[in-house]
Structure 1
């Protein structure tokens, strides 16, 4: 990627933290921030831009006041959307965020037609599917950021449980980005040592439960959702593609026969590189895990069906 230009739609806490993380590592030449709140966009861009004096190389941070100013990006990260509020039903939330996504994606297609898109907006797997339907691009170019965050949360809980190996913990998950996520302790490790040889089954269940509850715990204490870990997770994915690192990362991708499913986006381990999703890794799942994976896929399909019933894709 020659230009190494990254656009971020949504200058809220997650988008801004992702931008800040990218400037601190100096992996891209330019970060462009866009938000419907122009003052927020400009203010965050100035603040992050001033921090680059202490980064490894001079990343340019630019505020975009119109979608047309996010032109020719190599990667576009979409964090735009609204959280569920008050009496809002699941269907209400889906339709509102899908309509926001439709507008955002139309602009990405117009101004950065060769970009790779990373979806961060919730409900994550369904919004990733919406992007596929809107663009009809190759599935390698559209990736949902879920497993990078959930895996980091799992690694955090593993370290808290065992008290050693910080930075060496590798957590793997599959399934949707929600309560139906499926942590995979049998292929998780600390310093290469299988997790199952280090912790008890009881501890494992506690780790899994706390991983699933990780986001809710942050909301409980802060009164708002997480942004440091999600922002860094986004940056890691971006860096892998800019550097063509070929790393393995669980991500939400469109399946086409893998794991026995098609036309649905769900989290599975993939190889991330310069072309986006370089490869989808198919794990051998036992009967119990297959059943859990089906529940996860069905929950995503239920959301897609809500959009279809409301004629969203027409």
Structure 2
């Protein structure tokens, strides 16, 4: 029996995630949205691409949560997107209501699923989903670090004119202005980037990574990024479905790790069939630790506003 992945939200991020999953033949996909016709139309269009792609993934579009029953993974992208001049935090109240409604419906029909949260503001929405679902922490994971690291890797590869395949990058902390890229753990073919470029260029790339989402919103004017965010979510889906034991930076509920307790913050995580299987603790410098704690405080403030 094939695996089943539900994607909540048939907008750009959700529909593109469905595309990546189907193209990789990872699972059958259910695309669900509150708007009638959109998930059905996009789902059918994608299904009709499968003979061309020679993939047997089945895609269903629906407005009914009954069709999502017994999903292995549920990816939640639902919520309003950022608009120019809007911070991720501006989305807080609206997307909290949407998240609470969605998670209740998801859990009712897929009580054993693993939830991957993509909606912004990411860390607070993951916390809201965790509280609502009442799942153990290994089954609610936020997508942020994979995307932020991919952006950092892109900029490093461009700066040094090397293959992106040679570049690894680490970004911890909350998904937003307080994220913590770690240059000394970011490498090109195993060589730390601190050995390959001056500190001021590294700092410029770090800042561009922090501003990565806003840079795209500024270009698009009426929407936000979706190719890279959806690809990042699907890398997590693949790691779990294939039990890859892959170490990826994800937002997870910390219980004392890194000196943070009771909040979702981005840290290195091993993902496998159980979802979060291990939090990898690395020794941080005093400055890195302070930056991570500052990031956690920003998450804490958002969670306080919505009472989670």
The normalised TM-score by structure 1 is 0.93
- Structure 1 equivalent of residue 6 of structure 2: 7
1:114: which partner in 2? Answer: 112
Report how far residue 165 of structure 1 moved: 2.4
Matched, 1:154 2:152: yes
- Which residue does the alignment assign to 2:186? 188
Instruction: Find the counterpart in structure 1 of residue 283 from structure 2.
Output: 284
Q: Are the equivalent residues in 1 in contact too, given 2:88–2:121 (CA < 8 A)?
A: no
Is the deviation greater in 56-65 or in 243-252?
56-65
Is the aligned partner of 1:63 residue 2:57? no
* 2:84–2:218 contact (8 Å) kept in structure 1: no
1:117-157 Cα shifts (integer Å, max 9, x gaps): 00000110000001111122110000000011001000000
| Deviation, structure 1 residue 200 | 1.6
Q: 1:89 to 1:199 in 2, by over 3 A?
A: closer
Q: How does 1:226-237 map to 2 (within 5 A)?
A: 226-237=225-236
Call closer, same or farther: CA 1:56–1:152 in 2, change over 3 Å: farther
Q: Using a 3 Å threshold, how does the CA distance of structure 1 residues 91 and 160 change in structure 2: closer, same or farther?
A: closer
Structure 1 unaligned regions, length at least 5: none
Alignment of 1:295-310 (within 5 A): 295-308=294-307
Task: Measure how far apart 1:86 and its partner are.
Answer: 9.6
Which whole-Å deviations, capped at 9, do the CAs of 1:13-36 have from their partners, x for residues lacking one? 0001111011111122x1000001
Contact 1:7 1:32 in 2 (8 A): yes
The root-mean-square deviation of aligned C-alpha atoms, in Å, is 1.8
Q: Aligned in 2, Cα 1:201/1:25: closer, same or farther, shift over 3 Å?
A: same
> Contact 1:80/1:121 (CA < 8 Å) preserved in 2?
yes
Q: Secondary structure of 1:297's match?
A: helix
Whole-Å separation in 2 of the counterparts to 1:195 and 1:86: 32
Matching residue of 1:52: 50
Any stretches of 5+ residues in structure 2 without a counterpart? none
Residue matched to 1:203: 201
Question: 1 CA distance for matches of 2:212 and 2:125?
Answer: 21
Cα gap change, 1:41 to 1:208, in 2 (>3 Å): same
Q: Which residue matches 1:258?
A: 257
Report the alpha carbon displacement of residue 56 of structure 1 after superposing the two structures with TM: 4.9
